[in-house]
């Protein structure tokens, strides 16, 4: 029990009426304060932990998921190669070697840094706790054996996250940097994704379909991360799926709860649940958009599995990026291509000033899948549509940065290379594989439920509840 020092009575020598009133009044206030402090001790999560100075051990009953947890935990990288973060709030925060049975309490806010490959934490009183080089550190609230699972919260800077944190030093990149990984139950993670991925006024069925896709996507990444020994499962950016920590958005919370534990499966196993913003009416299959390493096909691919394009073209029309145009300077784009080629060790690095960019393969839907780039000397290089998009948007030192609207939103483009300007006419935003968020919303508005939406975007898959 945390000890609360109670103020004691002093001798009272004057007992006049006014003093007696004052004394009784003061006694009442003190009694009230004492009860308030005692109550707050009982109700805070750390109330039954003895006050600990830095350095004295506290037992960890259940830091990151044990068999009692009803659902899988997901590890989300929320900071990449950072030099410092602040664990906000007064805490006390529990810090420990990840996986250890005991840890220590630190009063917050706690400043977290890395130094020579090891994690260093500084508490509100300036006391420092350092860990050995390369050691991964747990940071979060104290969890007791009797606590209901799934209630933990941490605050990093101004963002609150469900779950706990792991601090992973990155000495192989820079000894003064580390990654911050949020370890959280998947059902608390999903609302934090779908609230960022969709507009709050969109239909419930769209949110529910997106919840299943996001859950499946994360669990697939979790499987591959654990196979390869990676210290996190997903990023919190568009590289995986966008995640903003705790959300109070009711439609997102309800959609996750309505579809709890439901995933997309094929032959009893999790299946890839890709999704993107706007297919532009021209969807594609994963193997078309991401062909096997180094293979850029020239032959027109036959894709009988995708649904007929005209329907998608109608559904997708309300998307702001259904059709778009972007112009770039030939000289700058040629240099950007070369820089991307060097970074990726791709043949594009050998090309000079651009002469033409022509499609060489299309999907059944009409989506462009690959291109041949030719320079003014007649040298050529082939790229997939996704590589073309990456090369056009490649951040290159010495070249102007690209604004959001000037980006190539998808690789499904028709290109006109002029003498000074390259004009792109594009369809959609994103890779166009799997669920299209705008098409899904159009289906929901028509009255389709989340099961029908998922069936349309992921043919030959089954919905399975796995916990």
List contacts with Zn ion (CB under 5 A).
Answer: 279, 316, 436, 438-439
Give the dihedral of Cα atoms 189, 193, 199, 202; nearest 10 deg.
Answer: -60
State the minimum distance, in angstroms, from the CB of residue 217 to Zn ion.
Answer: 18
State the minimum distance, in angstroms, from the CB of residue 440 to Zn ion.
Answer: 8
Structure-token pair, residue 416: 């006109």
Is the CA virtual torsion 80, 86, 92, 95 positive or negative?
Answer: positive
**142 or 279: CB nearest Zn ion:** 279
Q: Rounded CA gap, 324 and 426, in Å? A: 5
State the minimum distance, in angstroms, from the CB of residue 283 to Zn ion.
Answer: 7
Q: Rounded CA gap, 67 and 316, in Å? A: 44
**198 or 279: CB nearest Zn ion:** 279
State the minimum distance, in angstroms, from the CB of residue 318 to Zn ion.
Answer: 10
State the minimum distance, in angstroms, from the CB of residue 1 to Zn ion.
Answer: 59
**337 or 438: CB nearest Zn ion:** 438
State the minimum distance, in angstroms, from the CB of residue 435 to Zn ion.
Answer: 9
**218 or 443: CB nearest Zn ion:** 443
**138 or 438: CB nearest Zn ion:** 438
Structure-token pair, residue 153: 């919260």
State the minimum distance, in angstroms, from the CB of residue 284 to Zn ion.
Answer: 11
State the minimum distance, in angstroms, from the CB of residue 249 to Zn ion.
Answer: 23
State the minimum distance, in angstroms, from the CB of residue 313 to Zn ion.
Answer: 8
**106 or 273: CB nearest Zn ion:** 273
- Which candidate, 236, 187, 239, 248, places its Cα nearest to that of 215? 187
Structure-token pair, residue 250: 């009711």
**279 or 289: CB nearest Zn ion:** 279
**417 or 439: CB nearest Zn ion:** 439
**137 or 279: CB nearest Zn ion:** 279
Distances (CA, A) of 81 to 23, 95, 171, 172: 60, 20, 10, 11
- Which candidate, 358, 217, 214, 361, places its Cα nearest to that of 284? 361
């Amino acid at each position: 029990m945390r000890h609360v020092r109670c103020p004691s009575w002093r001798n009272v020598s004057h007992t006049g009426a006014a003093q007696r009133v004052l004394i009784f009044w003061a006694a009442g206030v003190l009694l009230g304060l004492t009860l308030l402090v005692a109550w707050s001790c009982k109700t805070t999560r750390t109330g039954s932990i003895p006050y600990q100075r830095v350095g004295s051990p506290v037992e960890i009953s259940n830091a990151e998921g044990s068999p009692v947890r009803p659902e899988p935990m997901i590890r989300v990288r929320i900071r990449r190669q950072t030099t410092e973060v602040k664990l906000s709030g007064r805490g006390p925060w529990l810090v420990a070697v990840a996986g250890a049975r005991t840890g220590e309490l630190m009063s917050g806010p706690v400043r977290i840094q890395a130094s020579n490959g090891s994690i260093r934490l500084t508490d509100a009183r300036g006391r420092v706790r350092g860990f050995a080089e390369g050691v991964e550190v747990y940071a979060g609230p104290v969890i007791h054996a009797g606590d209901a699972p799934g209630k933990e919260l941490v605050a990093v800077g101004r963002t609150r996250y469900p779950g706990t944190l792991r601090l992973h030093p990155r000495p192989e990149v820079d000894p003064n940097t580390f990654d911050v990984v949020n370890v959280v139950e998947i059902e608390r993670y999903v609302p934090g994704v779908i609230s960022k991925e969709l507009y709050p006024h969109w239909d419930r069925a769209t949110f529910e379909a997106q919840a299943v896709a996001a859950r499946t996507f994360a669990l697939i990444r979790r499987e591959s991360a654990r196979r390869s020994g990676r210290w996190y499962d997903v990023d919190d950016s568009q590289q995986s799926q966008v995640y903003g920590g705790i959300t109070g958005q009711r439609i997102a919370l309800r959609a996750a709860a309505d579809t709890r534990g439901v995933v997309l499966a094929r032959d009893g196993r999790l299946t890839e649940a890709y999704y993107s913003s706007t297919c532009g009416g021209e969807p594609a299959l994963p193997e078309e958009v991401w062909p096997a390493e180094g293979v850029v096909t020239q032959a027109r691919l036959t894709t009988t599995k995708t649904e007929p394009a005209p329907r998608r073209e109608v559904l997708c029309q309300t998307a702001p990026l259904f059709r778009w145009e972007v112009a770039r300077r030939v000289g700058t784009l040629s240099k950007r291509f070369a820089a991307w080629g060097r970074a990726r060790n791709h043949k594009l690095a050998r090309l000079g000033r651009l002469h033409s960019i022509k499609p060489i393969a299309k999907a059944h839907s009409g989506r462009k899948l690959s291109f041949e780039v030719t320079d003014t000397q007649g040298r050529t290089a082939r790229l997939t549509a996704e590589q073309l998009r990456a090369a056009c948007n490649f951040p290159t030192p010495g070249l102007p940065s690209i604004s959001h609207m000037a980006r190539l939103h998808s690789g499904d483009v028709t290109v006109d290379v002029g003498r000074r300007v390259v004009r792109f006419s594009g369809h959609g935003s994103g890779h166009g594989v799997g669920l299209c968020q705008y098409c899904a919303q159009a289906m929901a508005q028509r009255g389709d439920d989340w099961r029908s939406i998922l069936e349309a975007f992921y043919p030959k898959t089954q919905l399975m509840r796995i916990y």
